[in-house]
Amino acid sequence: MLLSRSTLRHHLHFVIIQVGMNDASSPTDAAIYFDTAASAALFQAADINGHFWTLCRYFVSENMLTYCGIASSVTALNSLGVPSPDSPQIYPYKMFTQENFFTEGVLQIRRPSEVEKNGCALEQLASMLAVYDVAVNVFQPTRSTLRRAARCWRTPCGRRTSA
């Protein structure tokens, strides 16, 4: 089914997980590094691992330590195929960069110099992303709500028709 741009709305989930290390002897609290056999087994068992490859293709590391939210946003927006602003540095290609992310609409919310000094609060980042016609759901789960948040992560990311 082909839909016009005006009937499409992008859907995106941004999640912050803060898990405490209360009991270091608990195997569920132990760190599992990405490049280990244990990590590979968890990845293969995950029912949402298909999104990983789409995101991985567009992964960018932050230009500076306070740009983690901007870099994550650029990765997500590119993976969703959201139309990006023109960028002379990568012309004729159209992709989000950490520089062209700051359009006039985004600048009304937060300026690059402010992000450079203080980073972004999650709510600010959600507002910045909303400028690009994406629906952003912000979750700050506690241990008791991690299962509920995980159910939301299983919702397919991508385009959806607006109601």
CATH number of domain containing 132 = 3.90.70.30
* Residue 32 covered by a domain: no
| Residue 71 domain boundaries | 5-17+47-161
Q: How many domains does the chain have?
A: 1
Q: What would the pLDDT profile of 44-85 be if each residue is shown by its tens digit?
A: 887 766 777 888 899 999 999 999 999 999 999 999 999 999
- Whether residue 37 is contained in a domain is answered as no
Instruction: Tell whether 40 is covered by a domain.
Output: no
26 part of a folded domain? no
What predicted TM-score, i.e. pTM, was given to this entire model? 0.66
In-domain check, residue 143? yes
Rounded to whole angstroms, how far apart are CA atoms 153 and 150?
A: 5
